[in-house]
Chains A and B, each alone.
Chain A
Amino acid sequence: MDDLIVKTITRLIVPFIQLYGIYIVLHGHLSPGGGFSGGAILGASMILFTLSFGLEEAKKKVPHRISMLVETGGILWYIGVGMIGFISVGVLWGNKIAGFDLGEPGRLLSAGMIPLLTLAIGAKVASTMITLFHTVIEEDE
């Protein structure tokens, strides 16, 4: 697709969509949202970019290797955070019991491991959406 209006609007709007997605992921323990919804917003922003700029440009922004690394890294990070509790006290994904500092409820740095897990889920959902879309689009060309 080679349309000036679509490309300009996409270039303007994609950073704001991604900022909103990152905000949703990082505030997963404070406000409605979390890893799945924030990751879906991040993935949707890259799908919009692919639709308006074409697959080659999008492949330059998010190479296949990087999205695969983020994907496998996300799930390993998720399991690794759970293993901290398993090794220290024998409870998988233990939060307070495994020594995570809960902090003061309502602050950004609080709730122990919940922001870490939300980050892993967000990265995983975003990279899954991007990889799925790029793979299916690739097949069409």
Chain B
Amino acid sequence: MSKLLTILVLAGLFVILVGSILRMPSLGSIDNPSYNETTTYYLEHAVEETGSLNVIAAIITDYRAFDTLGETTVLFTSIAAVISVLKSKSKGGH
């Protein structure tokens, strides 16, 4: 009974996910909603506002530097988790 329920739920999820993939805009199409005025603004003003020729670097370390702080915090958290798990286990094993 529960197996049948699992299969039904998974099949429903499958239909929803595949349906949403089919509704997605095609990759690289000029009509994508991601090509809006923000993209145009970055491409036009990044060099004069940040002095960086690499617009991606200008975005991730200038316009969205706070977001990059979050990414480095993720790295820091991951290493803290790994060290706390592995080191404590090896200490307890002795």
Q: How far is the CA of A120 from the CA of B33 in the complex (A)?
A: 33
Give the bracket for the number of chain A residues in contact with chain B.
35 or more
Q: Is the pair B50, A96 in contact by a Cβ cutoff of 8 Å? A: yes
- Give, as a whole number of angstroms, the nearest-CB distance from A8 to chain B: 32
Given contacts A111-B57, A121-B68, 15 further A-B contacts (CB under 8 A): A30-B53, A74-B72, A79-B69, A93-B61, A93-B66, A95-B51, A96-B50, A103-B51, A106-B53, A111-B52, A113-B62, A114-B61, A117-B68, A124-B76, A128-B76
List residues of chain A with CB under 8 Å of any chain B CB.
28-35, 71, 74-75, 78-79, 82, 92-93, 95-96, 102-106, 110-114, 117-118, 120-121, 124-125, 128, 131-132, 135-136, 138-139
Ranked nearest first, the 6 interchain pairs of A and B with the lowest CB-CB distance are: A102-B51, A93-B65, A111-B52, A29-B52, A111-B51, A117-B61
